[in-house]
Amino acid sequence: MRCPFCGNDDTQVKDSRPTEDNSAIRRRRFCPNCGARFTTFERIQLRELTVIKKNGLKAPFDRDKLARSIMIATRKRPIDPERIERLINGIVRRLESSGESEIKSDSIGELVMDGLAALDKVAYVRFASVYRNFREAKDFEDFIGSLSGASEDD
């Protein structure tokens, strides 16, 4: 692991332990070149995933991008951060265990929509407004109307 301070490639691991949710390994590292200490978080990746975007371009799957979009949707909502992390981990696990190395961005969007619908309705609507490209207030009305209709049927 490269030192973020001096760029030295020969850093030493001083301590390793799993994170509280066991989703990553937390490593305390030391750089013998500059004496800096820093922490890295390493996750096990089952397979290399590629996202096929709507325009046909391919890009490597980025867990951090997924997390950012979910964090934006859930911002200022009374949701335990651990539940958000479990949602992100669950989506990543489903993608990695799907057996496919190339995944359409629509599939990822639908997994996020399903997860947010179960987690928080406001976050669900926020994400849907971007994902479904709402252009005017009527789009929100129609979407929220479909939510109301769905909950009345339950």
* Strands, sheet with 102-104, edge to edge from the N-terminal-most edge strand: 58-60, 50-52, 102-104
- Which of 49, 72, 51, 68 minimizes the C-alpha distance to 123? 72
Residue 65 has pLDDT above 90, yes or no: yes
Residue 61 has pLDDT above 90, yes or no: yes
Q: Residues for the chain: how many in total? A: 154
Q: Could you report the per-residue pLDDT of 75-132, keeping only the tens digit for each?
A: 999 999 999 999 999 999 899 888 899 999 999 999 999 999 999 999 999 998 888 8
Give residue 59's Cα distance to chain centre: 15
Q: Which tokens go with 8?
A: 């030295």
pTM (2 d.p.):
0.68
Pick 21 or 108 by higher pLDDT. Answer: 108
Residue 17 has pLDDT above 60, yes or no: yes
Res 149: pLDDT: 64
Pick 55 or 130 by higher pLDDT. Answer: 55
Mean pLDDT over 42-65 rounds to 89
Q: Domain coordinates of the chain in residue numbers?
A: 12-42, 50-153
Q: Could you report the per-residue pLDDT of 22-46, keeping only the tens digit for each?
A: 778 999 999 999 999 999 988 776 6
Mean pLDDT over 130-152 rounds to 78
Mean pLDDT over 136-140 rounds to 84
Give residue 123's Cα distance to chain centre: 14
